[in-house]
Structure 1
C-alpha cells in the first residue's frame, strides 16, 4: 500500500525523466546547429583570408602554380584546384570520410565550404573543411552533466519531500492518532489541535461536529436502553411470578397449561434480554471498576461446577486442561460473566453427548465444542444475532463477551475446524 505523498512524487519523477530523455536529441540538434553555424563562419573567414592574400600576390604564373601546389600540401583542410568554369556562388556541405591527419585512420564528419576564387585572372575552386566530431563529445558532456544535475534534483526532491511532508502533514497525523485512540463508550471528549492549513482545519472542525453528534446520539440511545430496561424489570418480574402462580394451581386444565407454557417461553426470553441489556449498559458505563488479580483456572472450575446440570442434561462431560497458570487483572464479576457465557454457548451449540474441551495455555483461554456447521462469524458478536434454535436465547451472550474483551483490550477469536467450534480469548 502506497502513501499519498509518494504517488505525486512518483509521477513527478517519471515526468522529469521523460523530459530529460526527450531533451537529449534536442540538445544534440541545437548543439550541432550552433556548432555547424560557427564552423561555417570559421570556414568563411579562412576563405576570405586566403582570397585576400592570394589576390594581392604579383608573381609569374609558373611560380604561382608552385606556391599553390605547396599550399595544398602544407595547409591540411584547404585545397585550391584550377577550374575552367567557376562556381556561381559558395557551397556549404557536410561529408563523412577518413581523417588522414589523426593518429589512426577513422571516419570523421567534416563541414566544408566550396567557393570560387580568382588569382591572377585564373579561376580556382577553394575547398575549406573542418572536423566537426567535437559536437558528439560536447553532447556526451552535456548529457552527463544534465544527468548529474537530474540525480541531484531527484535526491533533493526526496529529502525535501520527506521534510516538508513531515511538517505539513503533522496536523493530519495528530488528528489520525486521536481518532485511532477515540472510543465512543469512554465518554472522553476529543480535541483536535489548531492548524494553519485551511484544509486540515476544516477537516478537524467537520470531525468535531460529527463526533459530537455521534456522542449525543450514542448517549441518548444508551440512556434509553438503560431506562427502558430498568422500567421493564419490575413488570417482567411480576408477570413471571404471576405465571408461576398460575402454573401451581391445582384445578388448571391441560389446555390452560399449554397456553401458560407457551406464554412462559417468550417471557423468559424477554427477561433474559432485559437482564443482558442492563448488564451491557453497566459495562459501557464502567460500573465494574473494581480490579483484582484472578486465578483463571479457579474461575473456570467454579463456572463448570455451576453449569454441571446443564451439561449433564446434554450428556456432555467437560474436559478441563489448565496447562498454564494465568492471573488475570480485571473485575471478577466480568470475568465470571465472560467465562459463563462462553461455556453456556459451547454447551448450547454442542451435540448431544458431544465434546467440550477447555484449555488454558499460551496466555489464552480456549473453549472447544463439537458441532456440525460453522457459526456465522460475521454476526457472532452482533447484538440480537441468534444462531441457535433455542427460544430462550437472547442473542446477547457473545455481545457481552465481546464488550468485556473490548473493555480490557483482550482478543477473542472464533474458528471452526474438523466439526469443532473454538473460541479463544487472548489476555
Structure 2
C-alpha cells in the first residue's frame, strides 16, 4: 500500500521524464538550426573577405590565376575558379554528406555549403565554400546525457522537497488523525481540533467535529432508549409471570384452565429471554463492555458445565470435558461466560435424547461436539432470529450473541457437521 503523497510524485516523475525525453530531439533541432545559421554567416564572411581581399591587391591576370590555384590546393573546403560570362547565378546554400578526407576512419560527415559568384577585376569567378558540420551522433548523445543528468537531479529534488513540504503541510492532518484515534464514543469526550491555515484541512475538521457531535448525541439517545425499553419491559414481564404463578396455585381452577394458563409460561419466558438478549446485543454494539483482563478458560468451562448439568440430565445427555492445555484469554469475564453458556445450551438443545456433548480445550482452540440428526442451516446459524433447525425452535439470538462477542475480540467461530456430530470450534 503506497502513501498518498507518493502517488502524485510518481505521476510527476513520469511526466517530467516524458517531457525531457521529448525535449531531446527539440534541443537537437534547435542547436542544429543555430549551428547551420552560424556556418552560413561564416561562409558569407569568408566570401566577402575573399572578394574584398582579391580586389584590393594589384596583380596581373597570370599571377591571379596562380594564386587561385595555390588557394584551391591548400584550402580543399574552398574552391574558386573562373566562370563564363553568362554562368553567374544567384547564391546557393546547401547541405551535403560526403567523405571527410581529414578523418582517419573515413567517416561520412555533413558539410554546409555556399555556392556564389565573385567579381574580381570585373570578371566573374565561381566560389564554393563547404564547412564541416558538428557530428550528429555526438551532438545527440551529448544532449541526451545532459538531459538525463538533469532529470536525475530533478527526481532527487522532487523526493527531498516532497518529504520536507509534506512534513509541514500534512502536520494538521496527522494531529487530526491522532485525535480521532484517541476518541472513545463511550466516554463521550469532546474532540477539539487545532486550528490550521490550510483551507481543506480546516473544512475537514469542521465536518468531523459536527459528525462526532451528531453521532455522540445519537449514540447517547440510542443507549438510553435500549436501557429504558429493557427496564420498562422487565417490570411488566415480571409482574405477569408472578400473576401466572399465583393463578396456577389456585385450587379452584379446572384442569382445562390450568393447562391454558400453564401454556402461557413458555412464550412469556421466551419473551423475557429475547428482551435480555436484545439488551445485551445493544450493549455489545455500543461498546459498553470495556473491562478486559486475563481469564482462565478451563476454570470457567468447569463452572459453566456444572451449572448446565441438570439441563443435560433432563434430556439424558452425557457431557464430557477434556482440558489438554492451560489456556488464558483476555476479555470481559461476563462476555466470555456468555459465549461458553450459549454454545453449551445450543449443544444440549440441538441434541438427541441419550446423546453426548464432548468439550475439548487444547491450546487456544475450544471444540464442542454434540450428537445430532441433521446439519444446521449454516446461512442462518449466526443470524438474529434465524432458526437454524425447525426441529428445535429458539429465539435465534444465542449464536448471534456468540458471533458478536467473538468479532469484538477477533476470535474465530466455526460450525461443521461431520459423522453425525454438530461441531462448533472457537479459536481464541
TM-score range, shorter chain: 0.7 to 0.9
Matched residues, number: 420
Q: Is the 8 A contact 2:376 2:389 kept in 1?
A: no
Q: Retained in 2: the 8 A contact 1:226–1:277?
A: no
Superposition map of 1:140-179 within 5 A: 140-179=141-180
Q: Is contact 1:94–1:110 with CA below 8 Å preserved after alignment? A: yes
Match in the other structure for 1:80: 80
Hey, what does 2:360 align to over in structure 1?
359
Output the CA distance in 1 between the equivalents of 2:369 and 2:78. 102
Alignment CA distance shift 1:196-1:77 (3 Å): same
Q: Which residue of 1 aligns with 2:401?
A: 399
Secondary structure, aligned partner of 2:195: coil
Contact 2:327–2:363 under 8 Å retained in 1: no
What CA distance in whole angstroms lies between the structure 2 residues aligned with 1:354 and 1:108?
101
After TM superposition, give the deviation of residue 250 of structure 1 in Å. 5.6
Partners of 2:88 and 2:124 within 8 A in 1: no
Structure-to-structure mapping, 1:211-222, within 5 angstroms: 211-222=212-223
Contact residue 55 and residue 119 of structure 1 kept, 8 A: yes
TM-score, normalization by structure 1: 0.85
> What SS does the aligned partner of 1:185 have?
coil
Q: Once the 2 structures are TM-superposed, how far is the Cα of residue 107 of structure 1 from its aligned partner?
A: 0.7
Taking the TM superposition and a 5 Å limit, the aligned residue runs for 1:101-180 are 101-134=102-135, 136-180=137-181
Q: Which residue of 1 aligns with 2:375?
A: 372
Task: Judge conservation of contact 2:82–2:124 (CA < 8 Å) in 1.
Answer: yes
Give the match for residue 45 of structure 1. Answer: 45
> Which residue number corresponds to residue 263 of structure 1?
264
User: Is contact 1:280–1:400 with CA below 8 Å preserved after alignment?
Assistant: no
Larger displacement relative to structure 2 (170-179 or 297-306): 170-179
CA-to-aligned-CA distance 1:233-275 (integer Å, 9 cap, x gap): 2321221133234445566556545543553332111111233
Q: Secondary structure at the match of 1:372?
A: coil
Question: Could you say if the C-alpha distance between residues 25 and 330 of structure 1 is closer, same or farther in structure 2, counting changes exceeding 3 Å?
Answer: closer
Query: CA 1:391/1:417 → structure 2, altered by over 3 Å: closer, same or farther?
Result: closer
CA distance in 2, matches of 1:345, 1:181: 39
Answer whether contact 2:385 2:395 (CA < 8 A) is retained. no
Structure 2, unmatched stretches of 5+, are: none
User: What displacement does 1:66 show?
Assistant: 2.3
d(CA) in 2 for partners of 1:205, 1:94: 70
Shift of 1:136: 4.5
Q: How does 1:301-340 map to 2 (within 5 A)?
A: 301-312=302-313, 316-328=317-329, 332-340=333-341
Moved more, 325-334 or 229-238: 325-334
Counterpart residue number, 2:186: 185
> In 1, Cα distance between the equivalents of 2:168 and 2:355?
61
Q: 2:348–2:357: 8 Å Cα contact kept in structure 1?
A: yes
| Structure 1 unpaired stretches of 5+ | none
- SS in structure 1 at match of 2:127: strand
Per the alignment, residue 29 of structure 2 pairs with: 29
Partner Cα distance (1:288, 1:145) in 2 = 64
Residues 145 and 368 of structure 1: CA distance in aligned 2, closer, same or farther (over 3 Å): farther
CA 1:61/1:402 → structure 2, altered by over 3 Å: closer, same or farther?
same
In the other structure, the counterpart of 1:412 is 411
Distance of aligned partners of 1:305 and 1:72 in 2 relative to their CA distance in 1, 3 Å threshold = same
Structure-1 separation of matches of 2:12 and 2:290: 56
Answer whether contact 1:315 1:353 (CA < 8 A) is retained: yes
* Residue 206 (str. 1) matches residue 207 (str. 2): yes
